Structure formats: C-alpha cells, structure tokens
Amino acid sequence: MVNLVIFGAPGSGKGTYASRLKTKLNVEVIATGDIFREIIKEDTPLAKTIKSYVEKGLLVPDEITLEILKQNLAKIPKDKGFLLDGYPRTVEQAKALNEIAKIDAIIHLVVPEWIIIERLSSRRICKNCGAIYNILFLKPKNDMICDNCGGPLYQREDDTPEVIRRRIEVYEKQTQPVLQYYKEKGVPFVEAKCEKLETPPEEIVDQILMGLKNLKLI
C-alpha cells in the first residue's frame, strides 16, 4: 500500500499519468480539480461558490477543499493506497494533509512552460468518463469521441491562454513552497522529466515506476 502525491504545473500531465498509475499501483486517484468540476454541474450554493474561483483560475478556499478531500479519503478501501492529484496546492493544505495521512513519496513532473501551453490549448476531455486526449498528439480514434466510452470530448473553460497563464502563475507562487515543505520533511521525491511535446505517456509512467522501485515503495 502506497500513498503518493503527484505534483506538476497545470498541463504537466498529472491527470494523464495518474489515470495510468491507478491500475499499475492499485491506488485510488483523488483529483480535487475533477471533483470540483463534478460539483459545479450541480445547482447548489456550494457549486456557485466553487465555480466563482475555478472559472478565474483561483484556488478554492482551504476549508472547502479540505472538507472535500476528507470525504474522498474516507471512501478509500482500507487495503488501498491513494494518489493525490491537485492537492496539496499550498503549505497550509500540506500541513492539513499531514494531520490525516502519511505520504510515502512525491512524484514531481518537470515540464518546460512552452510544452505546458501547447498541451493545454490542445487538450480535450471526455464529458462522460474524464479521459484526457490531445488533438495534436494523443488523438482519439474518432474525432471528438472518447475511445473508452464513446462520450463527447470537450475543452475545459479554464484552458484558455489567459486563464492558463494565471494558473501557471498561481502554481509557481503557491505550490513551489509546498515542494520545499516536503523536501524539508525528508519525504522522498521521484522526478520525471518531459522534454518533448510528443513524449508518449507510457515513457513518463515507466520513469515514475522505476523511481518508486528504487525507493522500494513498490
């Protein structure tokens, strides 16, 4: 059983790798961004509050985020670990997580900014199952239809150049200190570097698995 956090700027491929690591590591993936996008579809005051932050590329307040994280951690079967994608994004969130779970390693995706911008502007997601595609190099077999479930593909509202820039800014400012926090705590890091736009996801997933094996976590 292994508990991991995957870190990387928006568009660094967290969701893509997390969905592939899920089966290989037998972990539950908790992606706070995906959970928020689900909640936003509802017609509730909470949905409206969350939407007002997400659509601007700003962080949802910690109290809301932590409560949602706790609810999702509680659903994980006892014999299964987890992979967090999108949490923690601030040192406060990391400290709150430290109170409720032990993290075995950090997966850190290192991706140059130009790749991030290219990727996010061409990213498409399945409305039904959340599978991630890219119209340039991770294309669905049929145009705008999900290979997994046949659902329609869409572009996220916050995958526009202006909001992308804001999200990268927020990441740099608030999330980099979180990496520092884990380094200081001595939590081991697995670094995966992506230097080409067309690097197949499997190559990065293999780098991550190798790193976890070297740490004797799997």
Write out the residues near ligand AMP by the rule CB under 6 A.
Answer: 10, 32-33, 36, 53-54, 57-60, 65, 86-87, 89, 93, 167
SS3 160: coil
The end-to-end CA distance of the chain, in Å, is 8
**Running DSSP on this structure, what letter comes out for residue 11?**
T
Q: Which of 94, 95, 149 is nearest to 127 (CA)?
A: 149
d(CA 52, CA 40): 10
Question: Measured from the CB of residue 158, what is the shortest distance to ligand AMP in angstroms?
Answer: 6
In the complex, least distance from residue 79 CB atom to ligand AMP, rounded to whole angstroms: 26
User: CB 139: neighbour CB atoms within 10 A?
Assistant: 13
Closest contact distance (angstroms) between CB of 64 and ligand AMP is 8
Q: How far is the CB of 86 from ligand AMP (least distance, A)?
A: 3
Provide, rounded to whole angstroms, the least separation between the CB of residue 11 and ligand AMP: 8
Beta carbons within 10 angstroms of residue 122's beta carbon = 17
Using CB atoms within 10 A of its CB, is residue 47 exposed (0-12), middle (13-18) or buried (19+)? middle
Q: Which of 37, 119, 123, 124 is catalytic?
A: 123
Q: Catalytic: which of 37, 119, 124, 167?
A: 167
Task: Specify whether 166 is catalytic.
Answer: no
- Three-class DSSP category at 36: helix
| Active-site entry in 14, 37, 119, 124 | 14
20 is catalytic: no
Neighbours of 172 (CB within 10 A): 12
Which residues of 12-54 form beta strands (DSSP E)? Answer: 27-31
216 is catalytic: no
Any catalytic annotation for residue 89?
A: yes
Tell me whether residue 142 or residue 155 sits nearer to ligand AMP (CB atom).
155
**Which residue number, 165 or 213, has a Cβ lying nearer to ligand AMP?**
165
**Closest residue by beta carbon to ligand AMP:** 33
The one catalytic residue in 37, 89, 119, 124 is 89
Closer to ligand AMP by CB, 87 or 133: give it: 87
Residue 34 vs 215, nearer CB to ligand AMP: 34
Q: How far is the C-alpha of 193 from the C-alpha of 207, rounded, in Å? A: 8
The verdict on whether 156 is a catalytic residue reads yes
Q: Which of 20, 22, 156, 166 is flagged as catalytic?
A: 156
| Alpha carbon 136 to its chain's center | 21
Catalytic annotation, residues: 14, 89, 123, 156, 167
